[in-house]
């Protein structure tokens, strides 16, 4: 189910007081789970980017140190 459909179901259930098969909390939990999954993916991307940039900076600094020792 798309996120938009999920939100519409949640809104409809909140207005009618629930449904026979699902509780409003079930839909809210699913929205929370999807949001958490999305945030975790973004955090993983940021972690990888920071690791890559840190690695590049370490390599640059090592090159500077080696060049300083040679001269």
What pLDDT digit, counting tens, does each position of 6-44 carry? 778 777 777 776 555 667 777 788 889 889 999 999 999
How many structural domains compose the chain?
A: 1
3-state secondary structure of 2: coil
Average pLDDT estimate for 49-60: 98
pTM value? 0.63
pLDDT tier, 53 (very low <50, low <70, confident <90, very high otherwise): very high
- Within 10 angstroms of residue 11's Cβ, the number of other Cβ atoms is 12
pLDDT score for 41: 97
Question: Residues in the chain, how many?
Answer: 71
pLDDT score for 54: 98
Q: Which residue has the tokens 């040679």?
A: 70
Average pLDDT estimate for 42-51: 98
**Structural domain range at position 48:** 3-70
| Backbone φ/ψ region at 18: left (φ over 0), alpha (ψ -120 to 50), beta | left
């Amino acid at each position: 189910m798309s996120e938009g459909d999920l939100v519409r179901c949640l809104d409809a259930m909140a207005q009618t007081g629930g449904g026979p098969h699902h509780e409003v909390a079930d839909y809210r939990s699913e929205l929370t789970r999807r949001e958490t999954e999305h945030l975790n993916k973004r955090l993983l991307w940021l972690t990888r980017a920071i690791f890559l940039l840190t690695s590049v900076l370490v390599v640059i600094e090592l090159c500077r140190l080696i060049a300083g020792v040679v001269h």
